[in-house]
Amino acid sequence: MSASSAGRESRLLLLIEVPAVIATFVMMVHIAANALLRSLGGNPINHTLELTQYWYVPIIALLGFVAAQARNEHIVADLIFDKLPEVTRRWVLGFGYVVTAVVMAGFAWYGWEEALHSAKIGDTAGVSTLISWPVAFLVPLVFASLTVQFGYVAYRAVMHPNTVEELIAAKVADDERLREAKPPHTPDSEVEA
């Protein structure tokens, strides 16, 4: 990967992560202010629960999915994968990514239809008057992005076998780092005399 593509990738990640961080911070301030106003003045901020449930959390979670995939930080359970021959590994990985890309495309398609319907009926947050339909358009955008990401990694897994080797090397390095890490200090771990 060249320096320019690494810089471009870094800027794209910032484009995803900065709004998620801002939404997290705004949510935190909003909830804290609501709690203080409720406790001290008996007058909470209207629609705090609805804003959190229908706006903040979906934005944070959906952008988190994209960022985790872009950084290759999803949890992986390699029960059988490590035991497969190298040639089989890349095809299994590629097939898994293709299936995932198809599922993500289905979610994007369904999400788009639901977002259009929500906009058409002017969907609100529960029984409140707070509109919630604009956030529904984030669903197809995020899942379309994930479709592209999984399609790309499927292509790399099959066409560039070193991708699979890089994943295995990274897993081995992580396992070694975890083994070498000092266990946390607990009262039971006192040095015996």
Kindly give, in sequence order, each residue whose CB lies less than 8 Å from that of residue 146, ignoring residues fewer than 6 positions away. 65, 66, 69, 101, 104, 108
Confidence of residue 184 (pLDDT cuts 50, 70, 90): low
31 in Cβ contact with 51 (< 8 Å): no
38 or 4, which is more confident? 38
Please, which residues bridge with residue 124 across strands?
131
> For the chain, which residues make up each domain, given as ranges?
3-179
pTM of the model: 0.77
As a whole number, mean pLDDT of residues 96-116 equals: 97
Write the DSSP assignment of 32-43 as a string of letters.
Answer: HHHHHIIIIIS-
